[in-house]
Amino acid sequence: METILAPGLAPAAAYLLGSIPFGLLLTRLFGAGDLRAIGSGNIGATNVLRTGRKGLAAATLLFDLAKGCAAVMLVRAFLPGAEALAALGAVLGHCFPLWLGFRGGKGVATMMGVALGLAWPIGLVFAAVWLGVLYAGRTSSLAGMSAAVAAPLAAMALGYSAYGPVLGVIAGLVIWLHRTNIARLRSGTEPRIGGAKP
């Protein structure tokens, strides 16, 4: 029965977990306003940082990462073999939450969480690329997209090829959600962390 139900239950449960809008909840709880009316309007940690509350941004990053990892690990425990579906479901939930009109975040932190849940070496590569590019270029969007692309490549190179396709799909989604950032990167107008606001 688990085998029959897993293809539907795993992504559905992971979607619900992934769609918890921690950035929105935390900024409201601590009086930082409606995150959807600030900056880019998305619910991720980068936009929380625009409120000037670094602690809230860090907490959002950790919670968004944790929900992705938790979704994969819970499915592994109760519906083993459906982890890849859970990974996709969790990221879709974060990016397109039903109760926020399908307007969520861009999926980078949640993708790192699912990568860690699928196989920690993939998550480690993701984190290393993300932090390395962020340190070198001080550009959150470029760091996130670089790490997203690195994840499926790491899966294939490190012996986790079964996870490569789903991570490739998620990476494609992350890049598509960053299309306006890509346009600004090409024009040289993408803001840098710690730099002047555009």
Of the given ranges (40-44, 59-63, 116-120, 135-139), which has the lowest mean pLDDT? 40-44
Cα separation of 175 and 195, whole Å?
Answer: 23
Q: CA distances (Å), 39 to each of 3, 17, 28, in order?
A: 44, 25, 15
Q: CA distances (Å), 102 to each of 17, 81, 82, 85, in order?
A: 14, 28, 24, 19
CB 91 within 8 A of CB 110: yes
Q: CA nearest 127: which of 197, 61, 29?
A: 61
Please name the residues in contact with 166: beta carbons below 8 A apart, sequence gap of 6 or more.
84, 85, 87, 88
pTM above 0.75, yes or no: yes
* Confidence at residue 3, expressed as pLDDT on a 0 to 100 scale: 56
pLDDT in tens, 50-73: 887 889 899 999 999 999 999 999
pLDDT in tens, 145-189: 999 999 999 999 999 999 999 999 999 999 999 999 999 999 999
Please report, as a single letter, which amino acid is at residue 97.
P
pLDDT in tens, 5-48: 556 788 899 999 999 999 989 888 888 777 888 777 788 888 88
The b/e string for 10-45 (b: 16+ C-beta within 10 A; e otherwise) is bbebbbebbbbbbbbebbeeeebeebbeeeeebbbb
Task: Summarize the confidence of residues 77-97 as an average pLDDT.
Answer: 95
* Confidence at residue 1, expressed as pLDDT on a 0 to 100 scale: 45
* Confidence at residue 7, expressed as pLDDT on a 0 to 100 scale: 67
Q: CA nearest 168: which of 131, 128, 118?
A: 118
* Model confidence band, residue 197 (pLDDT cutoffs 50, 70, 90): very low
